[in-house]
Structures are given as structure tokens and as C-alpha cells.
Structure 1
Amino acid sequence: MTTYAPVLRVEIGEGLRAILREPTALFFSVLMPVGFYALFTSIFGREQAVGELPYAATSLATYGAFGVVSVMLLNPGIGVAEDRTRGWLRVKMVSATPIGVSLAARVVAALPYALGVIVAMSVASLLIAGPVLDVVTWLRLVAVLVLGGLPFALFGLAVGFVASSNATAAILNAVLFPMVLASGLWIPLEIMPGWVQAVAPYLPTYHLALLAQAQLTGAAALGHLLAVLLTTALGALAAGLAYRNLRV
């Protein structure tokens, strides 16, 4: 690993810049979640949502899950698809650097943006509603959200291995927004139609959001953790199969 550390640093730097060069993905995966959170927190900020916690705190878990999933699902997958379209992935595959290093760098490069989404939401919460979480709870929430976003990066890579860059963006957005809406990350499930409430427990975003909320409320979270781990295993399987059948 030490041998490839300089290459990994270069690849991560390129991945960070690639996200900035893609304004559409940056808007949908970073700016829009923060904007939504700031809007609804300004309306409902200190209203009680779950237990004794204000809306500004509990929605940091749900909108934070939305923001992290957006970043981790869209950016690595679209980046890999663009490399395939330009033929750059073929060059990497025949170079001395293991392709795994390049792919890992794509995922790692998305992590600062995922963290940035949560920090931006936290700043908005602080400005609008004041302090609603202690530091330890906030750090625990951040860790769960960022790590919980990794399986979505695997699914994004799986799509990026088989589709063009434009098709990858369309497919991932077509999956992301219905999944987020049906998981109750924007609108509470309690006021959603019954069929949506029935579908939600089968969605990985639902379990990530409840796992994040459990860090605030102390609710039981083992089932949600197992669901996130299962999502990770399925994402790794999907990415592995897609890479095995890769055509560049």
C-alpha cells in the first residue's frame, strides 16, 4: 500500500477536482440537500419532532442521510462512467497501478463532500435554531452518516461500470429521488400514503436515516445496522459483478 500511496493521493486529488468540474452533480448532490434542510429548518426549526428533540435535530439525521447518499451515490459512479466514455479507464486498467487504487480514490474523494454536506447543514441549524445537539452526539451522527454512505458508492460504481456518463447520471437520479421520498427523508412517513409506508422498510435509505436518528434518541438500532451491512454486501456484489463484465 505504501508503494501506491503517492498514486492514491494523486487519484484522490483528481477525484476532488472532477466533482467540482461537474456542476450538475455538485448541485443535486451537495447544494440542493443543504438548501432543502435550511428551508425547512427555518420553518419548523424548534418544533418538537421526536421525543424531546426539536425538528432541527431530527431532520439533521434525515436530510443528512439524503445529502450523504446523494454525494456517495452520484459522484463516484458518474466519475467512473466518464472515465469509461473518454477511454481513460482503459488506460488505467493496463497501467502499472492497480485499478482498485483508482476506484478506491473515487470513493474516498467523495467523502469530504459528504462531510461538507453535514457540516453545512449543521451550520445552518446552528444559525437558525441555535445549538440542538451536543458535540459527542453530533460526532456520532456524522460518523454513522458518512460510513453509511459507502454502500451507496458501491451501487453507483456498479452503474458507472455498465452505462455511459449521461445514462449513469439519469439512472442514479431516477433511483435516488423516489427512494429518498419513499423513505421519509423529505416528508414524514406518517403523512404519506399507506403503500409508501409499506415500501419504506425495504429501502436502504430508510434504515440509514433511522440508524442516524437512533444516535440522537437512543432507540434500538441493531435491525437498521444489519440492513445497512446487508446493503454494503449487496453493493459490493453488484460492483464486483459489473466490473467483472466491464467493457471499455
Structure 2
Amino acid sequence: MSASALAVLPVLRSEIGEGLRAILREPTALVFSVLMPVGFYALFTSVFGGQQTSDGLPFAATSIAGYGAFGVVSVMLLNPGIGVAEDRTRGWLRVKMVSATPLGVTLAARVLAALPYALGVVLAMGAASLLVAGPVLDLATWARLVVVLVVGSLPFALFGLAVGFVASSNAAAAILNAVLFPMVLASGLWVPLELLPGFLQAVAPFLPTYHLAQLAQAQLTGAPAAGHVLAMLAATVVGAVVAGLAYRNLRV
């Protein structure tokens, strides 16, 4: 590792710690974004868990992909964005902009700080699955699913940061929720896509939430996933560019 990279590590650790504290300052958003998807999964699994899907898998297994995607997107979209918006309202971002902290370190730290919460919501859903339906996935499949959901949640944190850099904390919460719920519904994360109106089925392939859910589902069914991987990589690049532009044009 180069000397310049080593010099950045203490700054990155400090930035991650700050990001963790920023999320904890908004416990309502954190609890809501964790409890709601886990509660939805437990409710619908207790009702439909014994049924099988068209793939021949139990509903309790396949629904983890959809509700798991909903959970990590909720955490990663809402919490970093609302936290950075709060920092903006308090004037802390004004201090950051005149400091020597590189933009890439700031963005990376905010995203990394949210990852433990994304992991937490997936593990909580796994615990709910065991309690409600028993062991419906083998350990290897479960591990792949966790990795895909947590890593696939990264672009949503970048989009949340972009909103947080330009909006107040209250406005950021309203904007992000207004984006989250229609996107989740149109992607088939709550209701199977084939049961939704035709115009929503046509919109779904253009949404990153759809590709994350399909990528998670592929870990259970073995379906081809290369196209969904490319879509998530593209969403990550777009999210990074949008967040970077929002930060550079920040008015504090």
C-alpha cells in the first residue's frame, strides 16, 4: 500500500465514525427502515410461507429476495441521505468543504458507515424467517444472498447522499420516501411483478431496485444474472457522479 493511501486511512476512519454517529442521530428513520421491511416479510410469510412459487421454491425463501432488497434499499437510501442533510442544516458540511478531506473519502465513508445497518436488516430478516418458517435456505445460498443484497445496496446510498447534499433534513426525508415507495412497488418487491398493471411491468426494468431484487432471486433459482450485474454497476457509476456533483455544488 502506498504512503498516500496509508495517509488517507486515518481520515477515512474518522469520516466513517462521523457517518455512524450521523445515522444514529436519526433513530426514527433507522428504526422505520429496519422494522418495516422485516415486519412485512414476517407478516406475509406467516400467511403464505407454505405455498410454492412458479420456481418450485417455498414463498418463505423467494420472498427474502424481494423484501430483503426492500430492506437494504430503505436503509441505504434514507439514512445516509438524512444524516448528511442534518449535517448540512447544522453547518457541519461548511466546515468539511474548506477542509483538506478529499471528496472521494467523504463519499466512501458515508456509504461504508451505512453498510452495517444494511447487513443488520438482512440478518434480522433471516432471524424472522427461521422463527416463522424454519430453515428455508442452505447456508451457502444464504451467504450469497446476504453478499448480493448488501453490496447491491451501495448505489442507493450514493443517490441518498446526493439528495442530502442539496436538501434540508425534513425535505430530504420527504423526497427520499417519495422516491422509495413508488420505486419499490413498481419493481415488484412487495407484490409479484406479474400481478401488477402492465405499465408498471414495462417500467420495472429501468429501475435499479428491480435489478437488485432479480439479482438476489438469481441466487436462489440459478437464473442468468449478468444483465442485472451490469445494471447495478451502471447505477453505481451514475450514483457516484450525481453525489459528487451535488457535493461540489453544495450551498451551505
TM-score under structure 1 length normalisation:
0.94
Structure 2 contact 20–114 (Cα < 8 Å) conserved: yes
Do structure 1's residue 30 and structure 2's residue 34 form an aligned pair?
yes
Counterpart among 189, 195, 200 of residue 185 in structure 1: 189
Quote the offset at 1:225 in angstroms.
Answer: 1.3
Quote the offset at 1:192 in angstroms.
Answer: 1.3
| Aligned AA (2:171) | A
**1:247 to 1:174, Cα distance in 2 relative to 1, 3 A:** same
Quote the offset at 1:157 in angstroms.
Answer: 1.1
Quote the offset at 1:244 in angstroms.
Answer: 2.3
Q: What corresponds to 2:85 in structure 1?
A: 81
Counterpart among 198, 202, 227 of residue 202 in structure 2: 198
**CA distance in structure 1 between the aligned counterparts of 2:163 and 2:32, rounded to whole angstroms:** 18
**CA distance in structure 2 between the aligned counterparts of 1:173 and 1:28, rounded to whole angstroms:** 11
Structure 2 contact 144–219 (Cα < 8 Å) conserved: yes
Q: What corresponds to 1:165 in structure 2?
A: 169
Counterpart among 221, 232, 237 of residue 233 in structure 1: 237
Quote the offset at 1:176 in angstroms.
Answer: 0.2
CA deviation digits over 1:157-179, x for unaligned, max 9?
A: 11111111111111010000000
Counterpart secondary structure, 2:251: coil
**Structure 2 spans left out of the alignment, 5+ residues:** none
Structure 2 contact 69–209 (Cα < 8 Å) conserved: yes
**CA distance in structure 2 between the aligned counterparts of 1:123 and 1:139, rounded to whole angstroms:** 14
Counterpart among 16, 23, 36 of residue 12 in structure 1: 16
Matches within 5 A, 1:212-231: 212-231=216-235
**1:201 to 1:99, Cα distance in 2 relative to 1, 3 A:** closer
Identity %: 80
| Aligned AA (1:116) | G
Q: What corresponds to 1:119 in structure 2?
A: 123
| Aligned AA (1:25) | A
**CA distance in structure 1 between the aligned counterparts of 2:244 and 2:217, rounded to whole angstroms:** 31
| Aligned AA (1:85) | T
Do structure 1's residue 139 and structure 2's residue 143 form an aligned pair?
yes
Quote the offset at 1:99 in angstroms.
Answer: 4.4
TM-score under structure 2 length normalisation:
0.93
Structure 1 contact 79–106 (Cα < 8 Å) conserved: no
Do structure 1's residue 106 and structure 2's residue 110 form an aligned pair?
yes
| Aligned AA (2:153) | G
Do structure 1's residue 92 and structure 2's residue 96 form an aligned pair?
yes
Quote the offset at 1:197 in angstroms.
Answer: 1.3
Q: What corresponds to 1:176 in structure 2?
A: 180
Quote the offset at 1:200 in angstroms.
Answer: 1.2
Q: What corresponds to 1:246 in structure 2?
A: 250
TM superposition outliers: structure 1 runs of 4+ over 6 Å: none
